[in-house]
Chain A
Amino acid sequence: MVNWVARRGRDERELLAIGRGLLPFVALALTACSGPENASGSQTPAPAGSHEGTSVAESSAATEAADAPSPAALSLELSVLQEEYKAAERSFWDSAPRRDDGAFELSAEDSERMPSRTFPPRFQSLAERARGTPVEVDALLALLDIAGRSWWPEKDTSIEAGAVQALLECHGDSPRMAELADRLRHLEHVVGAASVDAGLAGLADSPHAEVRALALKAQAERLLEPDGTEAAARALLERLQREHPGSEPAQEAEGLLFKLDHLRVGLVAPDQEAVDQHGETFRLSDYRGKVVLLVFWGFW
């Protein structure tokens, strides 16, 4: 589990600070991540503070197990919620307005009522109440399955990102991570390339052979995706910018990202004016229709 935190690429100093601050409450913080299934203490306290917003108050609340619903009750609640979601999907699309050609015509208000948008917070809240139990894993995996179905560029993906984070940090050693290993690379749009790569790297070290195998396959598939090696490079550059903002390497990362976006094989070359050795101006586009080998050179 220690590896998780190191690999996750989150601000480790922040994590350490939280850890130190919570030292007297480590036992409580541990409860925030690991519940009944881990009560034997088989997990290290590394995940302490890994749930965002984990507070001492929440941790204290979590220890009051007497008030918490039983795993069986939570499991039943999850089943009911999943059935409710399926019914809502059916009813929403059955009554969704259509154009003459049969295509759906959703207004902004309709879109906001889409079950794939309204249900994730309910799965999230159930997962929070089931924290540390297998039901949390089921609820978070269900949440990711649903939330991944609707996405638009300005979507707030904090629920999905939080779900992935909680799964990796609190249940990274669970055999259920096979499902996440299989699905994680399809969640790049909600959690970012860097998290996908860090997550898969961690899952490749899982104690369960099935999880490791799926993670290795997913890592290879990412490299086989069109421009897969470039996607891996992008993930590293984005992480560099996030973890070391303002530093010189991060500023150079800006240029390298531009290169990935605009100077890739298959994209139209940037056009620009030049002055030749005789003082005549020309542009690269003057040579459209010819194959051009452009060589940047110098002896200095």
Chain B
Amino acid sequence: MQLLEAEPFVLIGVNSDGDAAKVREIMEREGITWRQAVDGRPPSPWARAWYVNSWPTSYLIDAEGVIRARDLRGEATKDKVMEVLAEPKGGTPAGGEPHR
């Protein structure tokens, strides 16, 4: 993920372990540095809104806010992120609804 630091890419975690102190503790222990939404134990707001019922679950969202993939695993994650990053800027991908 170091590789991606220069790119317009962010990794956001939605953590379901508990409160902010608990999340900070786990982040330190695991060496996690990226931003976390502290969602609390399920059923929690984000997990409910996204109907997450298995963890981990991932969604890849492009620059236009359109969901481009879900439940990516391993190498496929990096490949798909690179593929979406490589797309020309502007213009909603096929099938995407314009936002705003």
Residues of A at under 8 Å CB distance from B? 255-256, 258-259, 263-272, 274-279, 282, 284-285, 287-300
B14 nearest CB across to chain A (Å):
5
Highest count of chain A CB atoms <10 Å: which of B11, B46, B65: B65
Contact of B51 among A258, A279, A298 (CB under 8 A): A258
Distance in angstroms between the alpha carbons of A264 and B95 in the assembled complex: 10
Question: Which B residues between 43 and 86 are near A, CB-CB below 8 angstroms?
Answer: 45-47, 49-53, 55-70, 72, 77, 81, 84-85
| Chain A hits for B37, CB < 8 A | 274-276, 282
Which secondary structure dominates chain B's binding surface? mixed
Q: Which of A265, A267, A272, A276 contacts B46 (CB 8 A)?
A: A272
**A276 → chain B, closest Cβ, in Å?**
5
Which chain B residues lie closer than 8 Å to A279 at the CB level?
20
Q: Does the CB pair B17–A299 fall under 8 Å? A: yes
Contact A295 B63 (CB under 8 A): no
- Complex contact B60–A296 (CB within 8 A): no
Apart from A275-B20, A290-B10, A296-B47: 18 A-B pairs, beta carbons within 8 A:
A255-B53, A263-B59, A271-B65, A274-B38, A276-B36, A277-B38, A284-B12, A288-B99, A290-B8, A291-B60, A291-B84, A292-B11, A293-B11, A294-B59, A295-B58, A296-B50, A296-B58, A297-B15
Contacts known (A266-B95, A268-B99, A294-B58); A278 close to B65, Cβ less than 8 A: no
Complex Cα spacing A289 to B7, Å: 11
> How far does the Cβ of B3 sit from chain A's closest Cβ, in whole Å?
13
- A269 in contact with B66 (CB, 8 Å): yes
Which chain B residues have a beta carbon within 8 Å of chain A's beta carbons? Answer: 7-18, 20, 23-24, 26-27, 35-39, 41, 45-47, 49-53, 55-70, 72, 77, 81, 84-85, 93-97, 99
Which residues in A have their C-beta under 8 angstroms from that of B49? 270, 272
Contact residues in A for B81 (Cβ distance below 8 Å):
291, 293
11 contacts between A and B (CB under 8 A): A263-B50, A266-B93, A269-B66, A274-B14, A274-B38, A277-B27, A277-B36, A282-B35, A287-B61, A297-B55, A298-B17
Q: Which residues of A contact B61 (CB under 8 A)?
A: 269, 284, 287, 291-294
Assess the A297–B16 pair: CB atoms within 8 A: yes
For B42, the closest partner residue in chain A by CB is A298
Which residues of chain A are near B16, meaning CB under 8 Å?
296-298, 300
Which residue of chain A has its CB nearest to the CB of B36?
Answer: A277
Task: Give 3 nearest A-B pairs by CB, closest first.
Answer: A274-B37, A266-B95, A298-B16
- CB of B2 to closest CB in A, whole Å: 15
